[in-house]
């Protein structure tokens, strides 16, 4: 992944608005998918995005649900409800129970545009049981996504495009191990299956983005009871499994996205980034994408006064957020970028979003945020490289 050597480069986290009869519909006709991908890539370029993707249009589901069709060895668990209970056990959900209850009565904790099809389910959960050896069977779906993206790039270099996948720790949630001798063996089996997807994306010349919401978001569900050190140990084994899965992927092709869960809620019990920043930096990746523009995490920019960014690494902090319908002023975006640039070096900063914008923001707002992100990056660049202006 290129550095911001001459100006602040721009990317985003993954999901983008697309026609709702295609987005999240694994059975959508390939012709319709390809047309939607071409359109979403075009709109990214027009918005000034440097590192583009296919908007997750070809996934046939959300950031983690799409993987269900790509792994064998699972069947619906006989007893359902564990994943939903895990969500409801959140300290945040308990403290603000009335808010969450009223929000779920509307059917979603995300943006409600009023026209989302029933096939896109942002609330429902299903529990899976591992009853046989885990293998990867998503080669055809992965190839379709890769081909759709590469055929839509136009003048954008293949090396400046990315496809998202999911970390073993986030795939693990909602899956019961009934086959492997230990949970660690189960996690490594997940990692070994996901390795095929990671390597397939990289071999196509694309950047591999690993999405991992649950490393941070599990804290207020199981971590608080475990205690910080025990929870860090819990995470460390799963990071080692992820690195094992990435062993054949060049580090410069890997982007890692850390998230606290993208639902629209208080997030009052989020695990502070300083408590796990060393774990994040231990992941085999060149670029780290994380929330830095919302009101729970923007102040954490200060930790980079104490934490030295390892040589060769890049930060892609969120400079616009999915968590508000307000469109950030480009000057605010520029200020956020410059704060990071002053702490870790301008060449080590890429402007990004807090999380995916698809289905989390109204489409008009999502694209406006990306335009504000690009304009803010341009303003910051003029000030960070004054000799070039």
CATH number at residue 23: 3.20.20.210
pLDDT of the residue at 262: 87
Question: Is 120's pLDDT higher than 50?
Answer: no
Distance CA(314)–CA(276), nearest Å, equals 17
Name the percent of the chain lying above pLDDT 90.
81
Average pLDDT over residues 188-217: 97
Average pLDDT, the chain: 93
Average pLDDT over residues 67-71: 93
Note whether residue 1 is domain-resident: no
Bigger pLDDT: 369 vs 110: 369
- Structural domain boundaries, residue 143: 9-388
pTM (predicted TM-score): 0.95
Note whether residue 236 is domain-resident: yes
pLDDT of the residue at 122: 41
pLDDT of the residue at 46: 98
Bigger pLDDT: 255 vs 109: 255
Note whether residue 3 is domain-resident: no
Looking at the structure of the chain, the number of domains it has is: 1
Residues in the chain, overall count: 389
Average pLDDT over residues 125-144: 94
Note whether residue 71 is domain-resident: yes
Tokens of 124: 């429902």
Which of 55, 47, 54 has the alpha carbon at shortest distance from 367? 47
Note whether residue 223 is domain-resident: yes
For residue 225, give every residue at least 6 positions away whose Cβ sits within 8 Å of its Cβ, in sequence order, or none.
Answer: none
Note whether residue 333 is domain-resident: yes
Note whether residue 258 is domain-resident: yes
pLDDT of the residue at 125: 61
Note whether residue 189 is domain-resident: yes
Q: What is the DSSP string of 146-209?
A: HHHHHTT-TTS-GGGBEEEEE-HHHHHTTEEESSSSSHHHHHHHHHHHHHHHHHHHHHTTPEEE
Contact assessment for residue 176 and residue 127, using Cβ atoms and an 8 Å cutoff: yes
DSSP strand pairing (207-212 vs 254-258): parallel
């Amino acid at each position: 992944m290129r550095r911001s050597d001459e100006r602040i480069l721009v990317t985003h986290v993954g999901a983008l608005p697309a026609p709702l009869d295609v987005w999240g519909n694994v059975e959508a006709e390939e012709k319709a998918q390809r047309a939607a991908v071409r359109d979403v890539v075009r709109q990214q370029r027009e918005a000034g995005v440097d590192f583009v993707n296919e908007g997750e249009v070809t996934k046939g589901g959300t950031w983690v649900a799409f993987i269900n069709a790509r792994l064998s060895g699972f069947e619906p668990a006989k007893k359902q409800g564990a994943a939903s209970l895990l969500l409801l056990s959140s300290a945040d959900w308990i403290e603000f129970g009335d808010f969450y209850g009223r929000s779920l009565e509307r059917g979603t904790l995300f943006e409600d545009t009023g026209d989302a099809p029933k096939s896109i389910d942002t609330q429902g959960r299903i529990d899976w049981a591992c009853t046989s050896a885990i293998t990867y069977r998503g080669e055809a779906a992965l190839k379709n996504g890769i081909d759709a993206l590469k055929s839509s790039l136009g003048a954008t270099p293949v090396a400046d495009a990315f496809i998202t996948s999911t970390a073993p720790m986030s795939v693990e949630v909602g899956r019961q191990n009934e086959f492997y001798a230990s949970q660690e063996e189960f996690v490594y089996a997940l990692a070994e299956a996901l390795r095929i997807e990671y390597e397939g994306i990289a071999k196509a010349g694309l950047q591999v983005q690993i999405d991992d919401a649950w490393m941070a978001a599990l804290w207020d569900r199981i971590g608080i009871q475990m205690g910080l050190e025990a929870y860090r140990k819990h995470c460390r084994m799963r990071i080692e499994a992820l690195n094992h899965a990435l062993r054949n992927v060049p580090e410069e092709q890997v982007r890692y996205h850390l998230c606290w869960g993208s639902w629209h809620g208080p997030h009052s019990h989020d695990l502070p980034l300083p408590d796990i920043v060393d774990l994040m930096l231990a992941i085999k990746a060149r670029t780290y994408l994380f929330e830095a523009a919302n009101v729970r995490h923007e102040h954490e920019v200060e930790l980079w006064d104490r934490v030295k960014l390892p040589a060769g690494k890049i930060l892609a902090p969120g400079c616009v957020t999915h968590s508000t319908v307000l469109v950030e002023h480009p000057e605010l975006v520029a200020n956020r970028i410059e704060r990071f640039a002053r702490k870790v070096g301008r060449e080590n900063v890429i402007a990004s979003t807090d999380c995916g914008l698809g289905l989390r923001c109204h489409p008009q707002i999502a694209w406006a945020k990306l335009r504000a992100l690009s304009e803010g990056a341009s303003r910051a660049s003029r000030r960070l490289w004054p000799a070039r202006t």
